[in-house]
Structure 1
Amino acid sequence: MFFLKEVNGMNALGHTIKTYRERVNMTQEELAQKVRVGTQTIEKYESGEQIPSNQTILKLSTVLDIPAAELLAHSE
């Protein structure tokens, strides 16, 4: 079992996803469509309720224009 770093009650990975999504002026719905997951899944990623798979992290990195290594660093 592993623990995620927390930032203001949100895990660091979720915080990073939300920060980069907002930086590119994208809604959760738009990100969900581009990554091919449900909007509720994006909400769960950002809130820390769910951790994206490595494959989804790669998709997120492409869509959000962020190095996958930066997202992966926060998922450990």
Structure 2
Amino acid sequence: MHSIGEIIKTGREMLNMTQEELAQKIRVGTQTIAKYESGEQIPSNQTILKLSTVLDIPASELLQQSTSVNP
């Protein structure tokens, strides 16, 4: 099972997109993307929906991973 950060990073890399490009598309800072990918921060449900659209990953897959993370 992959973490939400791994899924975001893999999806971004499959689209040959930089962290900066992804950040601009979902309107967050580049550091925020880095934190999502490293697991330091979990995106909000609203941000997960944006990531789903931009990365073409089912929101259900991202949401499932965001809720299975231990605090």
The answer to whether the superposition gives a TM-score over 0.5 is yes
Q: 1:75 is paired with a residue of what secondary structure?
A: helix
The structure with the greater share of residues assigned to strand is: 1
Aligned pairs for 1:1-76 within 5 A: 12-76=3-67
Kindly report the root-mean-square deviation, in angstroms, between the aligned alpha carbons of the 2 structures: 1.1
Paired residues in the alignment total 67
Cα shift readout 1:15-64 (whole Å, capped 9, x = no counterpart): 00000000111000000000000000000000011110000000000000
Q: Runs in 1 of length 4+ with deviation above 2 angstroms? A: none
SS at match of 2:17: coil
Q: What TM-score do the two structures reach when normalised by structure 1?
A: 0.85
Give 1:70 deviation, angstroms.
Answer: 0.7
Distance 2:56 2:11 in 1: 8
